[in-house]
Amino acid sequence: MFFFKNSASANYEKIFYDLNIESISGEIINFGDFKDKVVLVVNTASYCGFTKQYEDLQDLWDKYNKKGLIVLGVPSNSFNQEKKKNSEVKEFCEVNFNITFPLSAITEVKGNNAHELFKWAKSNHGSSAVPKWNFHKILINKEGKIEDTYSSFTKPLSNKIVNKIESIL
C-alpha cells in the first residue's frame, strides 16, 4: 500500500519552530529562535474596541520577557479594523502604547489566506485556535505546543492568562 502526501497537508506537518513570519519592519522572525520560550501570539488591530489590550500586552512583555516569555503581536485586517500600511501600524503602536515587543507585518489570520502560523494552530488545536475577532490569544509552551487559547474578552493580565504563563515559564 502506498501513501502520498499532497502539498496542502505538508504545511500542517510542520512544527511551530519550523515557521516564520515577516516582521513589521520587513525582517523575518524565525520561530526556531523561540525554542525553550513561552510564546503568546495575539492578532491585533488599531481600530478595535480591544485595542487598549496593547497596554496589558506590553506589561506582560516587561514583566516576563527576561523569564522567557515572547509576546508576538500579529496586526491583521482580517476583521477590517487595521491600518493599511505596516509603517502606520508601527507608528501607532509606538506612539500610543510604547510597544517594544515583536510585531509582525499585517497578516491574514483566518480563512484560506491565513498565514501558516494560524493554519498550523487550527490543525493542531482545532477551531478554538482560529481567531474569531481581534486580540484572540494563542499560548504556546516551551515545547512548541499550544497550551491554551483565549478569546478577545480575556484580558492579557487576567489571572487566567498570568497564572498559566507563570506555571509554564
Tell me the C-alpha distance between 93 and 99, whole Å.
6
Active-site residue identified among 19, 40, 48, 121: 48
Residues in the chain: 169
CA separation, residue 77 to residues 4, 89, 116, 128 (Å)? 36, 11, 16, 20
For 137, counting Cβ atoms within 10 Å of its Cβ (0-12 exposed, 13-18 middle, 19+ buried), the class is buried
Q: Are 83 and 95 in contact (CB under 8 A)?
A: no
The answer to whether residue 48 is catalytic is yes
| Residues involved in catalysis | 48
